[in-house]
Amino acid sequence: MRPSLTELSPGQDIGNRTIEVTRTDLVKYAGASGDFNPIHWNEAFATSVELPGVIAHGMFTMGSAVQLVTDWAGDPAAVVDFQTRFTKPVLVTDTTGTTEPGATVEVSGTIGKLDAEANTARIDLTVVAAGQKVLMKAQALVKLA
């Protein structure tokens, strides 16, 4: 059920989630998105172009982060806008043969602003991997019930 304006206030926490990322996830995303850039799956190539290793697709990170908002909103169609700036790559180490993730991304969200006239809430996300913010000004606009 979608949240309503009357039950919300700026600064209110909407929750958090942990996203565990493996290289297999990146290969699956590459297939779904058509983005087969080898920096997202080939260690040798990624380091040859001066990256620290294989990095997650920016849109994979962005899409995974906004899932917190769609879950909170109760309807993916309620998210009418989502914008962010990519600031740091998410390094995904090779953990093939283990049950460990190659990276962990922590996402938390708060209500940044309410607009009674438009019946919307701006949700501000904090997205962190390896102790660093990987998305800045990550903000989703949600149409309320």
At 113-135, the pLDDT tens digits run 999 999 999 999 999 999 999 99
| Measured CA distances, 63 to 8, 9, 33, 50, 79 (Å) | 24, 25, 12, 26, 12
Residue-wise pLDDT tens digits, 75-114: 999 999 999 999 999 999 999 899 999 999 999 999 999 9
Domains of the chain (ranges; CATH) run 5-143 (3.10.129.10)
Residue 59, CA atoms < 13 Å, CB-side half-sphere: 8
Q: Place 2 in a pLDDT band, splitting at 50, 70 and 90.
A: confident
Mean confidence (pLDDT) of the chain: 97
> Angle at CA 101, nearest 5°, toward 99 and 105?
150
Predicted local confidence at residue 57, as pLDDT: 98
Give the model's pLDDT for residue 145. 92
